Amino acid sequence: MNTNKNISNQSASKIKKFRRELPSTENLTNGILSGNKTALSRAITLIESTNSTHTKQANEIIERCLLHKTNSIRIGITGVPGVGKSTFIERFGKKLTAQGNKVAVLAVDPTSTVTKGSILGDKTRMEELVKDENAFIRPSPSGSSLGGVARKTRETIVLCEAAGYNVILIETVGVGQSETAVHSMVDFFLLLKLAGAGDELQGIKRGIMEMADAIVINKSDGDNVQRAKKARVEFTRALHLLKTQDNGWVPKVLACSALEDIGITDVWETITNYVAINTKNNFFIQKRQEQNKYWLLQTIEDQLKQQFYSNKSVKAELQVAIDAVINNKTSPFTAADKLLNLHSK
Amino acid sequence: MNTNKNISNQSASKIKKFRRELPSTENLTNGILSGNKTALSRAITLIESTNSTHTKQANEIIERCLLHKTNSIRIGITGVPGVGKSTFIERFGKKLTAQGNKVAVLAVDPTSTVTKGSILGDKTRMEELVKDENAFIRPSPSGSSLGGVARKTRETIVLCEAAGYNVILIETVGVGQSETAVHSMVDFFLLLKLAGAGDELQGIKRGIMEMADAIVINKSDGDNVQRAKKARVEFTRALHLLKTQDNGWVPKVLACSALEDIGITDVWETITNYVAINTKNNFFIQKRQEQNKYWLLQTIEDQLKQQFYSNKSVKAELQVAIDAVINNKTSPFTAADKLLNLHSK
């Protein structure tokens, strides 16, 4: 007993020490590659940190994880609050782990610093998935800029894949610019919608419907079944009016009930079908390569802007210039030239 | 006779001299404000010039013209080649001048350097409007970048308005990024479409439909009338699926035949109705102010990018970085940081 107690005391102290001290890059990377959730969580914390030592360490871990080739599917899931995203992800995730998949659930929510995590913050909404050893759930990183939040999430994807998660679900709220960011980091983009309440006739944020590879009408249960059917017809018709995607894929419109577990399997079949077709015609890998390039150029451009707008001389003159331009006192182009001169001095 | 001949010789030499020598900023500005087409044309040539002396003079003229307040309507007109833009503009322009308006027709076509002016280059397609003393037609400025072409056109609008043109039509081809540029410089954005040939069910460039304040189905004549009616229904339904504009305006779908002069007046009534509503609720002026601000910030961001990508060290390393990122040898963010460091050195 005494010996046992000592051993467990030693173990506890070891664990405490591990938690206090920052493990080496080597240890964290190996931990991730062996599928250790604690190592994965800690490395993600490094990614999210603003401390430059942490950033350096995070970058090394990412570079090593990048070398680790995996077959994963990255799925973006968007929809306005109330559409039932959490319930859908819980049900969808459980189906996938039951089939032997390892599922990571991430989120991009730039508003989370303000709202203290409006999505995925409350893990209790995914009770079963949280307890699932083949699922890993991480709320949105906080951050004032969408660029920062998106970057962190995108880097986290790399670590999750290296840790063996082969399905990455990335949740976002359908109300801002974050969809474009998520759309640029996933293989398949899912738009959740509600039938009824006139929702199929309005409220679609411009451009989001055009990004969707599938639209899923959720809460197609009880009184809603008929409305969902009607909504499917409406959306199918609307999608036909849009230009075909470059890969020839025609976005699918499905109906499901996450609550009553109806139609969830169809969603997964649609996605695997999409992946099969696009792997065959090489579009899948091409899209990922284009996304990599997109993030390189996008990061450069974001940083250039950030440097400009945080320049002291620019800051002092920007509002004056905006006011002059708004009131037609000067041309936008002349004003821009002046501010650019201030910046390059 | 001899005296007359001398006088006309003198006049001719004066004109020649005027054409050879660059008139002063003062003369050009006064010429523009008095509605002189030659002065207007010459000032636009200064805007289009790459000579820095010309640019300086152009900027002075623009600043002076900006002070001249006018009531104008700026209308963007887009549609794929073959939709009948020239015929529509000719017919529409003539209707407007007949009502006492002064109409300027400009174009934004970044491809024009390659195609030697695919739109408006051939003025013979607007035979009647060219001869109309209350119309002023100017083909797209040439230029390798959309930003440059758009800037020149936007500055030209200011001069045309100062010269008394109260309706500014800006044509663009519905195949590229130029619609966004034109949309950002007009009060009303018109999308020309064709009925029939399955065109209503496909081929709409993503996002363009969402920018339209009105969709006009052209060539609604002969056998096409029924198809145009059907297309109206389809488009009206599709537009309902989009989110309402900030100003509450629901985009109108109209049918017309520019060739047979049917429905052209309805288009103008829709536009004046839009202007009336939006002037009343202040949206009209707010939109123009936002556009001014947009062009200020957009120009800054374009220039920052241009400076970056033309930096010698960046140029030397960019493709290497892109390749590394595409092949997952490095993270897009790490590669971006390296390139940004090169640039700021």
The pTM (predicted TM-score) of the whole model is: 0.76
Judging contacts by C-beta atoms under 8 Å, the chain A residues touching residue B301 are 301, 304-305
Same domain assignment for residues A29 and A108: no
Query: Is the pLDDT confidence value at A117 over 50?
Result: no
Mean pLDDT of chain A: 86
B233 contact A CB<8A: no
Task: Give the closest of B202, B299, B337 to A332, CB-based.
Answer: B299
Judging contacts by C-beta atoms under 8 Å, the chain A residues touching residue B244 are 202
Task: Give the closest of B154, B328, B336 to A303, CB-based.
Answer: B336
Residue A247 banded pLDDT, cuts 50, 70, 90: confident
Which residue in chain B has the smallest CA separation from A231?
Answer: B241
Same domain assignment for residues B6 and B78: no
Report the 10 Å Cβ neighbour count for A300: 25
Integer Rg of chain B from CA: 23
Same domain assignment for residues A165 and A246: yes
**Residue that finishes a domain, picked among A259, A280, A301:** A280
Angle between helices B25-33 and B146-162 (to 10 degrees): 70
Q: In the prediction, which pLDDT does A189 show?
A: 96
Residue A145 lies in a domain: yes
Task: Give the closest of B67, B151, B331 to A333, CB-based.
Answer: B151
A71 contact B CB<8A: no
CA dihedral A218, A219, A223, A228 (to 10 degrees): 0
Judging contacts by C-beta atoms under 8 Å, the chain B residues touching residue A244 are 202
Interface contact A66-B328, CB threshold 8 A = yes
Residue B94 lies in a domain: yes
Report the 10 Å Cβ neighbour count for A54: 16
Interface contact B206-A210, CB threshold 8 A = yes
Task: Give the closest of A62, A201, A331 to B331, CB-based.
Answer: A62
Chain B nearest CA to A80, separation (Å): 13
CATH number at residue B322: 1.10.287
Which residue in chain A has the smallest CA separation from B339?
Answer: A300
Task: Give the closest of B242, B244, B340 to A300, CB-based.
Answer: B340
Total count of domains within chain B: 3
Residue A287 lies in a domain: no
Interface contact A332-B292, CB threshold 8 A = yes
B81 contact A CB<8A: no
Which residue in chain B has the smallest CA separation from A330?
Answer: B63
Residue A1 banded pLDDT, cuts 50, 70, 90: very low
Query: Is the pLDDT confidence value at A272 over 90?
Result: yes
Which residue in chain B has the smallest CA separation from A204?
Answer: B243
Judging contacts by C-beta atoms under 8 Å, the chain A residues touching residue B63 are 330-331, 334
DSSP conformational letter for A200: G
Same domain assignment for residues A108 and A232: yes
> Mean pLDDT over residues B265-279, rounded?
97
Residue A320 lies in a domain: yes
B201 contact A CB<8A: yes
Residue A262 lies in a domain: yes
Same domain assignment for residues B112 and B261: yes
Interface contact A238-B243, CB threshold 8 A = no
Same domain assignment for residues A203 and A243: yes
Residue A145 banded pLDDT, cuts 50, 70, 90: confident
Same domain assignment for residues B77 and B202: yes
Same domain assignment for residues A228 and A112: yes
Same domain assignment for residues B332 and B314: yes
Task: Give the closest of A242, A300, A329 to B206, CB-based.
Answer: A242
Residue A286 lies in a domain: no
CATH number at residue A59: 1.20.5.170
Interface contact B333-A289, CB threshold 8 A = no
Q: Which of A78-82, B80-84, B249-253 has the highest mean pLDDT?
A: B249-253
Same domain assignment for residues B276 and B155: yes
Q: In the prediction, which pLDDT does B178 show?
A: 85
Looking at this predicted complex, what is its ipTM?
0.80
Domain of B34, in residue numbers: 2-65
pLDDT in tens, A63-81: 999 988 889 999 999 988 7
Which residue in chain A has the smallest CA separation from B237?
Answer: A238
CA distance A283 to A188: 12
**Residue that finishes a domain, picked among B44, B65, B86:** B65
**Token pair 């009209």 is at which residue?**
B284
Residue B285 lies in a domain: no
A322 contact B CB<8A: yes
Interface contact A243-B205, CB threshold 8 A = yes
Interface contact B303-A335, CB threshold 8 A = no
A242 contact B CB<8A: yes
Q: In the prediction, which pLDDT does B11 show?
A: 64
Q: For the ranges A307-311, A316-320, B209-213, which has the lowest average pLDDT?
A: B209-213
> Mean pLDDT over residues A137-147, rounded?
82
Task: Give the closest of B209, B240, B333 to A151, CB-based.
Answer: B333
B228 contact A CB<8A: no
Write out residues 86-145 of B within 8 Å (CB-CB) of A: none
Q: Which helix (H) or strand (E) holds A265?
A: helix A264-280
Q: In the prediction, which pLDDT does A8 show?
A: 64
B241 contact A CB<8A: yes
> Mean pLDDT over residues B205-218, rounded?
83
Residue B287 lies in a domain: no
Task: Give the closest of A243, A307, A333 to B203, CB-based.
Answer: A243
> Mean pLDDT over residues B241-247, rounded?
73
Q: In the prediction, which pLDDT does A82 show?
A: 81
Interface contact B340-A62, CB threshold 8 A = no
Residue A124 banded pLDDT, cuts 50, 70, 90: low
Query: Is the pLDDT confidence value at B112 over 90?
Result: no
Same domain assignment for residues A298 and A192: no
Judging contacts by C-beta atoms under 8 Å, the chain B residues touching residue A242 are 204, 206
pLDDT in tens, B19-77: 556 789 999 999 999 999 999 999 999 999 988 899 999 999 999 999 888 899 999 99
Q: In the prediction, which pLDDT does A280 show?
A: 94
CA dihedral A217, A222, A226, A229 (to 10 degrees): 30
Residue of A241, A285, A291, A334 to mutate, interface with B, max B Cβ within 10 Å: A241
**Residue that finishes a domain, picked among A65, A80, A98:** A65
- Number of A/B CB contacts below 8 angstroms equals 162
Query: Is the pLDDT confidence value at B119 over 80?
Result: no
A5 contact B CB<8A: no
Same domain assignment for residues A61 and A209: no
Q: In the prediction, which pLDDT does B252 show?
A: 93
CATH number at residue A137: 3.40.50.300
